[in-house]
Structure 1
Amino acid sequence: MAGGYPLPDWGASDAAALHTDVQASLCPLCGASNACAVTLGLEPAQCWCMHTPIAPAALQKAAALRPAGAAPTQCICQACGTAFGSAQT
């Protein structure tokens, strides 16, 4: 659980799909690299989000950018994840 929110259950096929999708490596809020471990071909446990509290406002803003009912396909970057108000611990 990162930032107090449940994380997706990354299966091997999900991780492979993210790893090959260039858009998945970009933050949906600012367009910069999100440094997501999964998109870099690493284990999810190695991702910055597993060790850094994420501001709920950042998650809400990213969710608002997705089509209704769509699953997240891009992770936010650490700068955006911690810049939107107080991060949840």
Structure 2
Amino acid sequence: MGLETSSAVASAMRTVNFTQLRQNLAAELDSVTDDAEELVVTRSGHEPVVIVPLANDLIAEIMRNGYIGKPEALRGELSGHYGNR
């Protein structure tokens, strides 16, 4: 995923930095599952990561289509999923 796409995706999701996540881990995880929404976690000097609820339709699609270990195919799926938000 390119930087421009990553930024657009991240701006559509709630974002916390790693320190905030660490200080409020239980509440943040509850929020992800209760709201069924993704959470972007940023760390200085590292690429951001996304925490998603396991029940998320996107996760089910990734598992069903075997995208794990196939980053190019997954990038296309993610860009289609988040491009429509």
Task: Tell me the TM-score normalized by structure 1.
Answer: 0.28
Higher relative contact order (CA closer than 8 Å, sequence separation 6+): 1
Q: Flag the structure with higher helix content.
A: 2
Task: Tell me the TM-score normalized by structure 2.
Answer: 0.29
Q: Flag the structure with higher strand content.
A: 2
